[in-house]
Structure 1
Amino acid sequence: MTAKEAVPVRDGERADDDFSVIQPTGFSPVQVEDRARQLLFSPRALVIAGSMLFGLLILVYLLVARSLIFETQPADADIKVSGFAIPLGDGHLVLPGDYEYTVTATGYLPKSGKVSVSGEKNSRHAVTLERLPGHLQVVSDPPVPVRILIDGAEVDSEQGLAQNIPAGRKRITVLTDRYLPFTREVDIEGLDNTQRLQAKLRPAWASVRISSNPPGATVTVEGEVLGTTPMTAELIQGDRVVEISKPQHKTAQVPVAVTAGVDQTLTPVDLAAADGILRLASTPDGASVTVNGEFRGRTPLDVELEPGSTHQVRLFKDGYSAVERTIDIAAGVEREMTIDLSAVFGKVRITSSPANAEVYIDGRLAGSAGETFTLPARSHRIVVRKDGFEDYETTVVPSAKLEQSIRAVLLTAEQARWSQVPAEVTHGAGGRMLLMRPNARFTMGSSRREQGRRANEVMRQVALNRPFYLGTTEVTNREYRRYQRMHSSSHVNGVSLDNDNLPVVNISWADAAMFCNWLSARDGLRPVYRAEGNRIVGFDASANGYRMPTEAEWAWAARFEGGSMKKFPWGNELPVQKNSGNYADNNAAQLVPAVLRTYSDRYAATAPVASYQPNSLGVYDLGGNVSEWIHDLYTIGTGLSMRREENPVGPQDGDYHVIRGSSWRHAGLTELRLSYRDYGAEPRNDVGFRLARWVN
């Protein structure tokens, strides 16, 4: 602010004209804030502030950061850590987080990885570097090309240098021709370093002195010609064959066992004169040749013959006369000989039944049956053929000295098929079975007027034509015990029923059926009886396995003879004939209440199977010994029906099964008859069974 200078006024004077009024002037106060700001943002202030902030950050970093220490192998490895990491002594100071690292060292493969650092504690991380492969320089003495094996596997090498071998202890094998293998254990240090291995090789050969009589023979070993005798050859160790050959002499082959470093001299080899060669041919070709009785082959043939000897040469061929020659041949000489063989013929007469069949010889139609054919004396295939019949085939070798005859019995297709079915078989438990081919119509049961008849013997008309096998005897204890090893047929008042060759008894019908199924499975057949546990619930009439005979089969086998039905096992009249079966005789008087006083079968109870005469079919004990379980369920008809039953097998389900035939307990007229029927389900000491099976 500005002001005019003040003029003093004297007392009493007016100052109106000269007097100036004092005017206020503008005032600007001092700017204190601007100066303070200038001081705050001055360079010095900024430096101080920056230093303080940096110090604060360092303090915070030191408080938060953690130590990351790498323990490396080798210890002097270089370590690089990604991100902000402060090297500190043996480690790095880092903030918590994930870091990538790389560890390197001379002679080692670099290794990289990731490591996590937590905020709670310092972190240690071990890193072991893998040494770089090493190299091996093999120096052999003597200096020869070598092959190098490491731990048994061959590796690539050049001038004895094998490269890039993993570090560690290795088994080094050095191989070369004509020297023994050299083997050493070597510690490969790796680190891309090359190590040297001095291999002193030992020879793998030995010197062998070879001579011959006469000398000058060529010596060959494994196809390589080594020289002529006498000579010394270096042979590689092992089993060798030295071949010594000379023109006009036989070649000798001498086996030699060579041991490295062990020299030897072979015994002089005497070379025999070479065989002569007989080039032998015949017309026709294929004649067999023997020399002095020794077979040599078939023409055309080169035969070696020892010189200085006489040889018997024989040629023979089916259908031709044999030819013999005496041959003498010089050493090393080749001689050719061709011999013509003369054909020889014989007569064969061929007949047939039925007549007028066609005859084919060696596949060609030759004529009709009833003719005599002249054929070369060699083997011929004969086929006799007629429409409606199977071919008859055979072979024949005609003879010039004797006329031969062939009779061809021609079979229909059915006859031929049955000719392939065995008439007798043996089942897996050891019993025999015969083939039965019934083609019969008959009446089962008995007339009401027949003495001894029971009400259940109702007459039934039956047609039986399905073939089957039937056991010649009842199943024995020995056979049954192959299925149930501990089975016992027991005894009667001390008389044993349990001997091996006695019929098995004291078994139920279900026991017998289960035995049949077991035997079917054993022999690879389809079981007949359907079982649920130990219970039989039905049967399969199409199966080919073992079973008990049907009632119709049993009645046919026991009674049908000459077109009529027998009454008793021995015929149609009483008394019981001698040796006709095992019944209740005097021997059984202590066991049963009624016996046949005038008959003796030699046994008190059961007899060994097949002890008496078989019937006309070859079947034993269909009457006597033991009664037999039958396949069929027990039923009683209402009388003779006009309907004929064909191959009846009975119903599928029921409580009781038929029992047929008399036993050792029976002496009465009722039971001795073959039409006698009984029934049951539970075991008895006089009831067994026999086997049957259908032929499908």
Structure 2
Amino acid sequence: MTAKEAVPVRESDRADDDFLLIEPTGFTPVQVEAGGRKLLFSPRALSIAGCLLLGLLALVYLLVARSLIFETQPTDADVSVSGLALPLGDGHLVLPGHYSYTVSAEGYLPKSGEVEVDSDGHSRHIVKLEKLPGHLRVITDPPVAVRILVDSDEVPSEHGLAKNIPAGRKRITILSERYLPFTREVDIEGLDNTQTLQAKLRPAWASIHISTNPPGATVTVEGEVLGTTPLSAELIQGDRLVELSMPDHKTEKIPVEVTAGVDQTLAPVDLGPADGILHLTSVPEDASVTVDGEFRGRTPLRLELASGHSHQLRFFKDGYSSVDRTIDIAAGVERDLSVDLSAVFGRVRITSSPENAQVFIDGELAGIAGQTFTLPARSHSIVVRKAGYEDYQTSIVPSGKLEQTVRAILLTAEQAHWSKVPAEITHGAGGRMRLMRPDARFTMGSSRREQGRRANEVLRQVSLTRPFYLATTEVTNGEYRRYQRMHSSSHVQGVSLDNDNLPVVNISWSDAALFCNWLSERDGLNPVYLTERGRIIGFDTAADGYRLPTEAEWAWAARYDRGAMRKFPWGDELPVQKNSGNFADTSAAQLVPAVLRTYSDRYAATSPVGSYSPNSLGIHDLGGNVSEWVHDLYTIGTGLSLRREENPVGPQDGDYHVIRGSSWRHAGLTELRLSFRDYGADPRNDVGFRVARWVNGETTP
């Protein structure tokens, strides 16, 4: 055995030795033959390389790809994804990118969409498929043609089959022409399945027995002829109109309330003789016609008249004599009747003031005022016109029996304007106001020689031309408490000043002015008095709201008497005349230091407003009862000025306001005069006020 050969080792030798000795063997290198490179491109090598490449690509795909999972309802739906998408369990394995998908299942509408898969994570989508509509077959007992309503909307049906009903719980209503509606709640399965609904229908009619006197009348219901009386007919439930007709008899229409399943026997219907037909014409046409006093229309006219007795006909038309006829017509007969109406004329005399105005009749120039015109006895439009005056318009119906007269009083444009302005109004608190249209130039104040004169009664030349409304009475407690509910005018030594019909007192000038502003706002007018934080800071003479009368307005309204200026409320001389007003008389002796011993007005303090006769302008209590706040601030002039003041309203600034007129406390000659002036700022128990307002936008009478 050579050194290179292996020596077998026995098992017994292993026991004796700790390890085996391995001997090297001889090595002979493989000799590579020329042309070995060709083996790299052999089919086998290429196949192996291709597998390696595919494996590498598959590895890259697995590393880059993301899962795209669809959760579907129903769960067994088929999912189709566009592009390279490998099914993997419940989803697909796809590279990041944009994909289209389609989800479909039997019995459902397919659903398609698009998804975007990014490289950041997996994509999961929920897709719920809509069930296909279902179908419903309706089987009725008895078998009749039906209409099918689904949730109150009628759906197409053929032989009781309604197709394409959306899945879900539906309210199904079955309608048939002669049966009551049948309604059920049905769960429509959908999925293109057909369900069956059994419907037992109940009759919707009742048997109605109809009879007439005489018998043999034709029975018609809603245009359908059912037969002749006596007759039993099945009528559909509801309100029915039964028409009964018979030759030469009146047609009767009987309302019948039919209840399904409830049979009825109607009371016999008496058919009276038929009306006669009368065709009426007249010359001229459009004549009014009455039959037995009842208006029936205008010619030409077709009349139905009860047969068997006479009728009184009257034809009439404006401008024509009426014509009467008596007619008796047989049942079912048609007749013609024509009448000729005779024209009737009347005489109308038309005059005007001023004279020589033009007269237009029915829009045509007819002549000059002062003439008598012959006109047809019908309504005519009359217009009387003259340059510089407003037209006078009226209408008249001439009479053939007597001559009539139209007297036209023509007004200038200004007169016509003022004729439309109310002579009296009522303000929002309930007081009445009269229209004042002064065109006055007068002297305010009093002469130094006048007995009782005070130094503040300086003569002033005043021109008063602005129209205004003035309250006929002073503001009462009741009226003022609409503004200040808790106001009390109090009392004098137990004599009340606080009754609703007594003049309000114990108020300041500012209280009175703020009442005027409240009244203006209540009536939708512009307030006169300007305020700031509840204080009066000025006034606006352009405003149309309520205010206190100016001193000039008060003086003119108190003193004016048919062109003259009176001295006292009752006239120009003492003593005080009976019923002249509420002054300090004997009944006030316990309340005031001086009284009129020979005069009695029946009231110790204030009296109800309007208790005494008004002056010539219709104004009460401008002298007596209570003195009155007026608009003007108090000033004293230095003497009679040659300059005439136009509609004065007083200054904007000052400390005191003017008080005018005597009161229940006054008995002296000085105070009883209408020229008496006082002033103040604080409330008094004998000072009240009345309201005024300018006529909207007017500055001249």
- Shorter-chain TM-score bucket reads 0.7 to 0.9
Task: Name 1:242's counterpart in structure 2.
Answer: 242
Aligned to 2:290: 290
Counterpart CA distance in 2 for 1:243 and 1:628 is 82
User: Structure 2: which amino acid aligns with 1:538?
Assistant: G
Greater Cα shift, 328-337 or 594-603: 594-603
Separation in 2, partners of 1:167, 1:402: 90
Question: Normalised by the size of structure 1, how large is the TM-score?
Answer: 0.84
1:275 alignment counterpart: 275
Q: Distance in 1 between matches of 2:573 and 2:307?
A: 92
Note closer, same or farther for the CA distance 1:270–1:58 as it changes in structure 2 (3 Å cut).
same
User: Which letter maps to 1:549?
Assistant: P
646-655 or 500-509, larger mean C-alpha shift: 646-655
Query: Is the deviation greater in 666-675 or in 616-625?
Result: 666-675
Instruction: Tell me, in whole angstroms, the C-alpha distance in 1 between the residues paired with 2:79 and 2:495.
Output: 104
Give the corresponding residue for 2:24. Answer: none
Stretch deviating more after TM superposition (451-460 or 67-76)? 67-76
Q: Shift of the alpha carbon at 1:672?
A: 2.3
1:99, distance to aligned residue in structure 2 (A): 8.9
Q: How does 1:9-28 map to 2 (within 5 A)?
A: none
Are residues 663 and 115 of structure 1, via their aligned partners in 2, closer, same or farther at CA, if it must alter by over 3 Å? same
Of all paired residues, the percent bearing the same amino acid is 80
Which runs of structure 2 are paired with 1:522-601 in the superposition (5 Å)?
522-601=522-601
The reply to whether residue 666 of structure 1 matches residue 669 of structure 2 is no
Map of 1:405 onto structure 2: 405
Provide Cα deviations, 1:6-49, integer angstroms capped at 9, x if missing partner.
Answer: xxxxxxxxxxxxxxxxxxxxxxx9999x9xx9999999999999
Whole-Å Cα distance in 1 between the matches of residues 245 and 373 of structure 2?
58
Label 1:274 to 1:113 Cα distance change in 2 as closer, same or farther (>3 A): closer
Query: Structure 1 stretch 496-505 or stretch 451-460: which is displaced more?
Result: 451-460
- C-alpha separation between the residues in 2 aligned to 1:128 and 1:356? 98
Q: CA deviation at 1:419?
A: 1.8
For 2:651, the equivalent position in structure 1 comes to: 651
Matched, 1:422 2:429: no
> Residue deviations 1:487-538, cap 9 Å, x none?
1112223322211011111222222122112222222333222223312222
In the other structure, the counterpart of 1:692 is: 692
Partner of 1:353: 353
**Using the alignment, how far apart are the partners of 1:260 and 1:109 within structure 2?**
46
Give the counterpart letter for 1:492 in structure 2: V
Letter in 2 for 1:341: L
What residue number does 1:477 align with?
Answer: 477
**Paired residue type of 1:425:** I
* CA 565–266 in structure 1, closer or farther in 2 if over 3 Å, else same: closer
Instruction: Please report the RMSD computed on the Cα atoms of aligned residues, expressed in angstroms.
Output: 3.8
Which residue does 2:678 correspond to in 1? 678
Displacement after TM superposition at 1:81 (Å): 7.1
Q: 1:312 to 1:598 in 2, by over 3 A?
A: closer
Match of 2:335 in 1: 335
Q: Distance in 2 between matches of 1:444 and 1:393?
A: 44
Q: Secondary structure at the match of 1:511?
A: helix
Secondary structure in 1 matching 2:382: strand
Does the alignment pair 1:445 with 2:445? yes
TM alignment of 1:128-147, pairs within 5 A: 128-147=128-147
The 3-state SS of whatever aligns with 1:505 is coil
- In the other structure, the counterpart of 1:185 is 185
Judged with a 3 Å threshold, the aligned counterparts in structure 2 of structure 1 residues 367 and 85 are, in CA distance, closer, same or farther, namely: closer
Gapped runs of 5+ residues in structure 1? 1-28
Aligned to 1:9: none
| C-alpha distance in 2 between matches for 1:103 and 1:221 | 60
- Per the alignment, residue 604 of structure 1 pairs with 604
CA contact (8 A) 2:215 2:229 kept: yes
Q: Is the 8 A contact 2:562 2:616 kept in 1?
A: no
Matching residue's letter, 1:445: G
Matched residue, 2:156: 156
What is residue 300 of structure 2 aligned with on the other side? 300
2:199 aligned partner: 199
- The number of residue pairs the alignment matches comes to 667
Cα shift at 1:568: 2.2
Q: CA deviation at 1:138?
A: 2.8
Equivalent position amino acid for 2:273 in 1: A
Taking the aligned partners of 1:253 and 1:69, their CA distance within structure 2 comes to 76
Contact 1:281 1:301 in 2 (8 A): yes
CA distance in 1, matches of 2:71, 2:352: 107
- Which residue does 1:464 correspond to in 2? 464
Distance 1:77 1:378, change over 3 A: closer
Change beyond 3 A, Cα 1:453–1:121: same
- With over 3 angstroms needed to count, the CA separation of the structure-2 counterparts of 1:312 and 1:121, relative to structure 1, is closer
Q: What's 1:322 paired with?
A: 322
Give per-residue Cα distances to partners, 1:555-574, cap 9 Å, x unaligned: 11112334443222223333
Which deviations, in whole Å up to 9, do the C-alpha atoms of 1:246-294 show, x marking residues without a partner? 3322212122223334444544444322211222222222333222333
Distance, in Å, in 2 between the alignment partners of 1:100 and 1:541 is: 84
Deviation at 1:443, TM superposition (A): 0.7
Q: Cα gap change, 1:142/1:671 in structure 2, threshold over 3 Å: closer, same or farther?
A: same
Between 218-227 and 183-192, the greater mean CA deviation after superposition: 218-227
Rate the CA distance shift 1:45–1:550 in 2: closer, same or farther, 3 A. Answer: same
Moved more, 546-555 or 38-47: 38-47
5 Å matches for 1:220-259? 220-259=220-259
Equivalent position amino acid for 2:581 in 1: G
Distance change (3 Å), C-alpha of 1:43 and 1:499: same
Task: Identify the residue that residue 433 of structure 2 maps to in structure 1.
Answer: 433
Per-residue deviation, 1:643: 1.1
Deviations 1:181-232 (A, max 9, x none): 2222211111121222233444433444444444544333222334444555
CA contact (8 A) 1:612 1:621 kept: yes
Partners of 1:183 and 1:594 in 2: how far apart? 100
Q: 1:661 & 1:399 partners in 2: Cα distance?
A: 59
2: CA distance, partners of 1:31 / 1:597? 174
Deviation for aligned residue 1:149? 1.2
Which secondary structure state, in structure 1, belongs to the residue aligned with residue 179 of structure 2?
coil
Q: 1:501-512 alignment to 2 at 5 Å?
A: 501-512=501-512
Counterpart amino acid of 1:380?
H
Task: Name the counterpart of 1:395.
Answer: 395
Gaps of 5+ in 2: 1-28, 697-701
Give the match's secondary structure for 1:184.
strand
Deviation at 1:547, TM superposition (A): 1.1
Cα distance in 2 between the residues matched to 1:538 and 1:341: 75
Shift of 1:133: 2.0
Task: Judge conservation of contact 1:570–1:577 (CA < 8 Å) in 2.
Answer: yes
> Following superposition of structure 1 onto structure 2, how do residues 360-375 of structure 1 map, counting pairs within 5 Å?
360-375=360-375
Change over 3 Å in CA distance of 1:565–1:322 after alignment to 2: closer
How far off its partner does 1:630 sit?
A: 1.0
Q: Which moved more, 1:376-385 or 1:460-469?
A: 376-385
Q: Equivalent residue of 1:515, what SS? A: helix
Report the secondary structure of 1:180's partner residue. Answer: strand
Q: Distance in 2 between matches of 1:285 and 1:666?
A: 80
User: Secondary structure of the equivalent of 1:606?
Assistant: coil
Amino acid at match of 1:173: T
Check the 8 A contact 1:442/1:564 in 2, yes or no.
no
Distance 2:53 2:380 in 1: 124
Shift of 1:445: 1.3
What TM-score comes out, normalization by structure 2 length? 0.83
1:74-103 deviations in Å (ceiling 9; x for gaps):
343445678998877667899999998765
- Tell me if 1:166 matches 2:170: no
d(CA) in 1 for partners of 2:133, 2:49:
58
Select between 132-141 and 430-439 the one with higher mean Cα deviation. Answer: 132-141
Q: Secondary structure at the match of 1:307?
A: coil
Query: Following the alignment from structure 1 to structure 2, what is the Cα–Cα distance between the partners of residues 170 and 282?
Result: 68
Give the 3-state SS of the residue equivalent to 1:520 in structure 2: helix
CA contact (8 A) 2:350 2:370 kept: yes
Structure 2 CA distance for partners of 1:120 and 1:391, relative to 1, 3 Å:
closer
CA deviations 1:422-448 (Å, max 9, x no partner) are 222221211111111111111111223
